[in-house]
Amino acid sequence: MSAWMIWGAIVAMTVVTIFTRTFFLLAGERVSLPHRLQRALRYAPAAALAVIVVPEVVLLDHQFVLHLGNPKLAAALAATGWFVWRRSMVGMIVVGMAVYTLGRLFF
């Protein structure tokens, strides 16, 4: 692949990215999404977070591990429990990291 092709691909990807991210800002109020789609898009951040976090928590050495010997799973459960109980984000991070560290040291 030549240098011109690489630079052309970079420029093309930049233009496509800018266009797709600014389309609704450029269109303004002329384009409106249906109410049903607007309601569905409210769940997109939670779904994206789940797609990123869940595989990281339940996979250990590229294998599905769903028991408390998995320090990531134990930490996630402890952190979730703490947050549900106390509603403290900082406490959740501290508890999750403490459980993860202890799990890595002793399991």
**Domain region containing 93:** 43-106
If you average pLDDT over residues 58-72, what whole number do you get?
A: 88
**Separation between Cα atoms, residue 8 and residue 20, nearest integer Å:** 18
Q: Is residue 24 part of a domain?
A: yes
Give dist(CA 31, CA 49) in Å, integer.
28
pTM across the whole model = 0.65
Q: How confident is the model at residue 65 (pLDDT cuts 50, 70, 90)?
A: confident
Look at residue 98 and tell me if it is in a domain: yes
* Average pLDDT over every residue of 37-49: 93
Residue 95 counted as domain residue: yes
The DSSP 8-state label assigned to residue 59 in this structure reads E
Q: Are residues 28 and 1 in the same domain?
A: yes
